[in-house]
Structure 1
Amino acid sequence: MAGSAGPNDFGGRTSVRVVVVGDRGTGKSSLIVTIAAESFPENVPSVLPPTRLPSDFYADRVPITIIDTSSSPEHRGKLATECKLADAVLLTYACDQPSTLDRLSTFWLPELRRLEVKVPVIVVGCKLDLRDEQQQVSLEQVMSPIMQQFREIETCIECSALKQVQVPEVFYYAQKAVLHPTAPLFDQEAQTLKPRCVRALKRIFILCDNDRDGALSDAELNDFQVRCFSAPLQPSEIVGVKKVVQDKLPEGVNDHGLTLTGFLFLHALFIEKGRLETTWTVLRKFGYDNDMKLREDLIPVAFKRAPDQSVELTNEAMEFLKGIFFMFDIDGDGALRPAELDDLFSTAPESPWAEGVYKDATEKNALQGLSLDGFLSQDLMMWSLRFHVTLKEETWSDTVWKALKSIRNLLWTLMTLVEPASSLANLIYIGYSGDPASAFHITRRRRLDCKRQQSQRNVLQCYVFGPKNAGKSALLNALIGRPFSEKYTATTSERFAVNVVELPGGSKKKTLVMREVPEDGVKKLLSSKESLAACDIAVFVYDSSDENSWRKSMELLVDVASHGEVTGFGMPCLVVPTKGDLDPSPMAVQDSTRVCHVMGIQAPIPVSMKLGDSNNVFRQIIVAAQCPHLNIPETEAGKNRKQYRLLVNRSLMFVSAGAAVAIVGLAAYRVYAARKNIPNASGELSV
């Protein structure tokens, strides 16, 4: 299981730029001239112009451009610029000058770090022929402490330009460090494959395990070899490969063939033996880049759509996800426990829901310790795929199992709405092999929905605005079934919550995504013309016991409504007074009702999350969002602009009508005049 890479197997890289640095007199220029001319020069300039090694110089057939540098203080700026443009750095010292070796760790390597040069470093000992034979010390012994301190060092090598000893190897290692880097694959300190590398290789193994028996048979191994290296394995070679694995790792081979454990062991062995090109060839044949992610050309990075269009999963994608869910729900408890979820995403670079907007978007422990009666008193469709759930066995019944098995994966729905490219990438990582276009649906433009007075969307996004401590987070928590908490924690960044809401009559369900916008983030949000294009409906929350809270919420309502009027991305808006368990502020209640009436939107919807009184607010949000032509607030400025447009239109109509009358009159006059000037039968003009 080995081979060499072809010219197109380097993640699209077509050249390698190597910058040579080091103290004056360490042999930088002589090294470059010797590799280019294949002979030692008599006279060498202090700094050479860029030197190019042709593509056929090494087997990988990728040309190398070598940049010489000066170590003089006056050229420090030029040196820094070249280092930042480098793909690899050759750092030289002179074998006959111990002080230049000391300078590697006291100056050069710290300087490269200061410049934030994050490329492989090849340490090169030049002038090997001049070393004092009485002070012979092994290279490993000298460099080991330095390499422990500076992990960016990829390789150390000594050479002699005069004797032409290991000069080609110097630049070969530099090229290899760029085309086949160690860092993404292997943890030198732990001496193990890196997690992302393991995940990528596991996905490749599964893709090659055609019969899904957990092992690569001889035929599957041979197919793998042909795909990656364009050459079949002989039967004796297959036997040899499996024997190497079995001798070192008995569980690496079973009756069916090479196991995943054995497959990973083989690649670790290749890397330890310096044959990184073998593993890299495999990874690149399957589309991986240096970050252990699939290349962008394999995953569309953008979905062509207007700002007011959204992306939803198709039924085909949902059916695939349901199948995946049940495949990884090993214990059949209707939920994915931590180990099961980790296993599901073990072929992706990482779990997409570990951080970011997804981490807190659903309630992970909503079912823990909940009685059957308590559970059944809730809307079963609200519970989604509850991850990281510990359940009491006595709380389950067939009704609960059936309900859980009929639900949709809300985090996938959220990811598709917020980051459709990431959703597609993760679908592919976990095994979706269909046409990417079949997994997603681009919704109709919201402006067109407004004209047709009906939204066709299955996933509706609600922006939640309001001042601090108004109850925005409590509203989102209620959507996902999280218990009310008296503890107040200010939201400093946008937060999402997602759940399924049953519509009146119980025949239809829609997915509601609520996006909490912190008060401090509203100004930044509204700085973009298209910032509200993705918003299907906006909710303005205020503390019903606090008149000042209502005043701030009203200001936000006016700002958002004005933005929608100016940009053309107006949306339905609702006002939600919270904390109905507290004594209400009469002024806030009266004023909010009056403002809603004046602006032409639905009356406020009071709620109390503490008392569990949601007043069907989520259902009302969905109903309002489905009628995008209603509940669009009008500001005074908007009304004035509307009246102005009506006046202008009426004026234009009056002017147009007057012009039409004038034109008709002129035409009639011309006909009359023409008739007066028609000669009579005698040839005289009529009087």
Structure 2
Amino acid sequence: MQILICLICSPENKQKMVSECQAADAILLTYACDRPATLDRLSTYWLPELRRLDIKVPVIVVGCKLDLRDEQQVSLEQVMAPIMQQFREIETCIECSALRQIQVPEVFYYAQKAVLHPTAPLFDQESQSLKPRCVRALKRIFILCDHDRDGALSDAELNDFQVRCFNAPLQPTEIVGVKKVVQEKMPEGVNEHGLTLTGFLFLHALFIEKGRLETTWTVLRKFGYDNDIKLRDDLLPSIFKRAPDQSVEMTNEAMEFLKGIFYIFDVDNDGALRPAELDDLFSTAPDSYFCKYSPWSDVPYKDAADKNVLGGLSLEGFLSEWSLMTLLDPASSLANLIYIGYPGDPASAFQITRRRRLDRKKQQSQRNVFQCFVFGPKNGGKSALLNSLIGWNFSQRYTVTTSERFAANIVELPGEVKKTLVMREVPEDSVKDLLSNKESLAPCDIAVFVHDSSDENSWKKAKKLLLLVASHGENNGYEVPCLIISAKDDLDPYPLVIQDSTRVSQDMGIETPIPVSMKLGDFNNVFSKIITAAQQPHRSLPETEAGKNRKQYRQLVNRSLMFVSVGAAVAVVGLAAYRVYASRKNTSS
């Protein structure tokens, strides 16, 4: 621990002072008790200078030469109160005398305490209240300790909390005393079940006000928080090592936990989480992670899942959002899961899927979450397909999709098997940029190509995209199953489109086009068919002419090599037989 003592009489050698300040864990600002003018120098030079240099460490103001101070001077509290009001970074003030060894050890004790148990992250001196991030952390701790989820800490739960944090149980009289103190100051802090969250927060604010910051910091650190009141990095692994064609999914254990959380926070029991309930659920996460409590308030999660007419997220939508976040950003998903109170080992919450190329060899995918890339021309029906997945009503109004969009929902397959389908809409103008990366199709479990079945030009563009994606997969080793979707089946189909799309599907070795009408609600089990095709990744793999030619060439080469190998083997056998014959002839003669 580095403590820097800034002497107000030594402002020279400024560059060295700046570097020392930036490396310090705490700063002691000193003045002479017998010279009041030196105290003024604190607020006119040193404290503003530390702010200008953006030095964010605890500051201890130390009055030296206490033995020379005039007894008629105003008390330290009266003198320092306005300065501390203006400069909140001041942790504490103390006077001492080095000559007479008065309170010298206390100076360094407070400096050490300011580093190990700082006030600033926990408490707002101006409002005299706990800071929001501290409240969120303590709320998470309260939820983790409230084992029966009744909104209060019983005597047994309080005792467990005490043992976990301080390695010592509470005596029954101590528990009674704690609850009595809370009830006298804040009646709502205690109910028939025990200490409420309000009472729990009040206790910690009381500890801090009385200077017992070590109590709150001990609790926070026992539950994994660092000095910024965020969970330590070792508790939040940010790297999930996997191949490009592997994905991350939540385990059944994590999903069951999330189902329980959903019902706990669905306060009005309407089967959906309203925005306020969702914010409450995520209110234990630090504000540095999100602009709002919910991590789904912005793209790509916003409007990506099933909601009711009031904007409430259904259980299926809630679980789908988690699956989507785990697929796209597993590190954030893990962080959120832990912050909302997941009690198990983080390793038990996630699993890495098998490589997709191995799935093709096994002719079966074991995944529970499938990502579908949706290609197609403008106004071909891509957005309507995504909207249908999350239960949105069909809209006649057409809006051009200019950036990638996601939709996710749980789809029930025959036999009551449920899988999550994530659809990623790729704008027509973005396809070439997407395919400029050799591994761009690695995360794709299946690709669909949507076109307006009444528009010949729409089909021509979709076919071009299909050939482009198929070629990219063949060339880079990331072939994906493909399906053609003939949208707007309620309109008069263009005969040549039907004929050509059917012929193309047969030539490329994929299933025949699937007709759908989102306007009429005729989905033709399209989402179930998409997942079924993704589960059997060895099928519906499109082959281009170039791909077929390369395959035939490789087969020809392999046959030629086989013939050469057989011929060589025959020659070797013949040579060996000749040598045996010659040897016997020489022996007989």
TM range (shorter): 0.7 to 0.9
Correspondence for 2:10 among 2, 14, 25: 25
Question: Would the alpha carbon gap of residues 653 and 92 (structure 1) be closer, same or farther in structure 2, given more than 3 Å must change?
Answer: farther
| Matched residue, 1:377 | none
User: Bigger CA drift: 167-176 or 257-266?
Assistant: 167-176
| Matched residue, 1:541 | 450
Question: Would the alpha carbon gap of residues 559 and 140 (structure 1) be closer, same or farther in structure 2, given more than 3 Å must change?
Answer: farther
| Matched residue, 1:55 | none
The within-5 A match list for 1:299-338 is 301=238, 306-338=243-275
Question: Would the alpha carbon gap of residues 512 and 129 (structure 1) be closer, same or farther in structure 2, given more than 3 Å must change?
Answer: same
The amino acid across from 2:305 in the alignment is: T
Question: Would the alpha carbon gap of residues 235 and 291 (structure 1) be closer, same or farther in structure 2, given more than 3 Å must change?
Answer: same
| Matched residue, 2:91 | 155
Question: Would the alpha carbon gap of residues 176 and 514 (structure 1) be closer, same or farther in structure 2, given more than 3 Å must change?
Answer: farther
Q: Is the 8 A contact 1:226 1:232 kept in 2?
A: yes
| Matched residue, 2:289 | none
Q: How much does 1:265 deviate?
A: 0.3
Correspondence for 2:86 among 132, 138, 145: 145
Question: Would the alpha carbon gap of residues 193 and 488 (structure 1) be closer, same or farther in structure 2, given more than 3 Å must change?
Answer: farther
Q: Secondary structure of 1:650's partner?
A: helix
| Matched residue, 1:244 | 181
Distance in 2, Cα, partners of 1:130 & 1:556: 87
| Matched residue, 2:395 | 485
Q: Is the 8 A contact 2:29 2:42 kept in 1?
A: no
Q: Secondary structure of 1:140's partner?
A: helix
The amino acid across from 1:496 in the alignment is: F
| Matched residue, 1:465 | 375
Q: Is the 8 A contact 2:479 2:541 kept in 1?
A: yes
Q: Secondary structure of 1:25's partner?
A: coil
Question: Would the alpha carbon gap of residues 190 and 573 (structure 1) be closer, same or farther in structure 2, given more than 3 Å must change?
Answer: farther
Q: How much does 1:269 deviate?
A: 1.4
Q: Deviations over 1:231-278 (max 9, x none)?
A: 344555444433332221122234554332211101011223332221
Q: Is the 8 A contact 1:22 1:71 kept in 2?
A: no
The within-5 A match list for 1:46-65 is none
Q: How much does 1:572 deviate?
A: 0.4
| Matched residue, 1:271 | 208
Tell me how large the CA RMSD over aligned residues is: 4.3
| Matched residue, 1:383 | none
| Matched residue, 1:664 | 573
The amino acid across from 1:453 in the alignment is: Q
Q: Is the 8 A contact 1:203 1:429 kept in 2?
A: yes
Correspondence for 1:363 among 277, 294, 306: 306
Distance in 2, Cα, partners of 1:470 & 1:130: 87
The amino acid across from 1:144 in the alignment is: Q
Q: Secondary structure of 1:632's partner?
A: coil
Q: Is the 8 A contact 1:245 1:265 kept in 2?
A: yes
The within-5 A match list for 1:71-470 is 71-72=14-15, 79=18, 87=25, 96=38, 98=40, 101-104=43-46, 107-112=49-54, 119-122=56-59, 124=61, 138-147=79-88, 153-155=89-91, 157=93, 172-209=109-146, 214-234=151-171, 237-298=174-235, 301=238, 306-347=243-284, 349=286, 350-366=293-309, 387=312, 409-420=319-330, 422-423=332-333, 426-430=336-340, 432-434=342-344, 442-466=352-376, 470=380
Q: How much does 1:664 deviate?
A: 2.1
Question: Would the alpha carbon gap of residues 651 and 579 (structure 1) be closer, same or farther in structure 2, given more than 3 Å must change?
Answer: same
Distance in 2, Cα, partners of 1:211 & 1:574: 49
Q: How much does 1:280 deviate?
A: 1.2
Q: Deviations over 1:426-469 (max 9, x none)?
A: 55555554565665555443223212323333332212234555
Distance in 2, Cα, partners of 1:419 & 1:158: 49
The amino acid across from 2:44 in the alignment is: D
Q: How much does 1:628 deviate?
A: 0.8
Kindly tell me the number of residue pairs found equivalent between the two proteins. 574
Q: How much does 1:540 deviate?
A: 2.9
* Residue 457 of structure 2 is aligned to residue 515 of structure 1: no
| Matched residue, 1:476 | 386
Q: Is the 8 A contact 2:307 2:317 kept in 1?
A: no
Q: Is the 8 A contact 1:185 1:193 kept in 2?
A: yes
Question: Would the alpha carbon gap of residues 408 and 143 (structure 1) be closer, same or farther in structure 2, given more than 3 Å must change?
Answer: closer
Question: Would the alpha carbon gap of residues 107 and 550 (structure 1) be closer, same or farther in structure 2, given more than 3 Å must change?
Answer: farther
The amino acid across from 2:91 in the alignment is: T
Q: Secondary structure of 1:677's partner?
A: helix
| Matched residue, 2:563 | 654
Q: How much does 1:580 deviate?
A: 5.4
Q: Secondary structure of 1:364's partner?
A: coil
Correspondence for 1:645 among 544, 551, 554: 554
Q: How much does 1:660 deviate?
A: 1.7
The amino acid across from 2:82 in the alignment is: Q
Question: Would the alpha carbon gap of residues 207 and 363 (structure 1) be closer, same or farther in structure 2, given more than 3 Å must change?
Answer: closer
Distance in 2, Cα, partners of 1:21 & 1:551: 76
User: Bigger CA drift: 303-312 or 644-653?
Assistant: 303-312
Gap regions ≥5 residues in structure 1: 1-15, 27-45, 47-69, 148-152, 369-385, 390-403, 680-684
Question: Would the alpha carbon gap of residues 473 and 132 (structure 1) be closer, same or farther in structure 2, given more than 3 Å must change?
Answer: farther
Distance in 2, Cα, partners of 1:524 & 1:20: 57
User: Bigger CA drift: 93-102 or 565-574?
Assistant: 93-102
Q: Is the 8 A contact 2:445 2:534 kept in 1?
A: yes
Distance in 2, Cα, partners of 1:254 & 1:577: 61
| Matched residue, 1:12 | none
Question: Would the alpha carbon gap of residues 635 and 619 (structure 1) be closer, same or farther in structure 2, given more than 3 Å must change?
Answer: same
Q: How much does 1:585 deviate?
A: 7.7
The amino acid across from 1:387 in the alignment is: G
Question: Would the alpha carbon gap of residues 191 and 482 (structure 1) be closer, same or farther in structure 2, given more than 3 Å must change?
Answer: farther
The within-5 A match list for 1:497-576 is 497-503=407-413, 507-519=416-428, 522=431, 525-526=434-435, 530-542=439-451, 553-554=462-463, 556-576=465-485
Q: Is the 8 A contact 2:447 2:480 kept in 1?
A: yes
Q: Is the 8 A contact 1:23 1:71 kept in 2?
A: no
The amino acid across from 1:96 in the alignment is: T
Correspondence for 1:630 among 528, 534, 539: 539
Q: How much does 1:279 deviate?
A: 0.6
Q: How much does 1:409 deviate?
A: 3.6
Distance in 2, Cα, partners of 1:531 & 1:128: 71
Distance in 2, Cα, partners of 1:563 & 1:612: 34
Distance in 2, Cα, partners of 1:663 & 1:420: 59
The within-5 A match list for 1:2-17 is 16-17=1-2
Normalised to the residue count of structure 2, the TM-score between the two structures is: 0.80
Distance in 2, Cα, partners of 1:244 & 1:606: 70
Distance in 1, Cα, partners of 2:306 & 2:203: 41
Question: Would the alpha carbon gap of residues 539 and 287 (structure 1) be closer, same or farther in structure 2, given more than 3 Å must change?
Answer: same
Q: Secondary structure of 1:138's partner?
A: helix
Distance in 2, Cα, partners of 1:246 & 1:337: 32
Q: How much does 1:512 deviate?
A: 1.5
Q: Is the 8 A contact 2:505 2:511 kept in 1?
A: yes
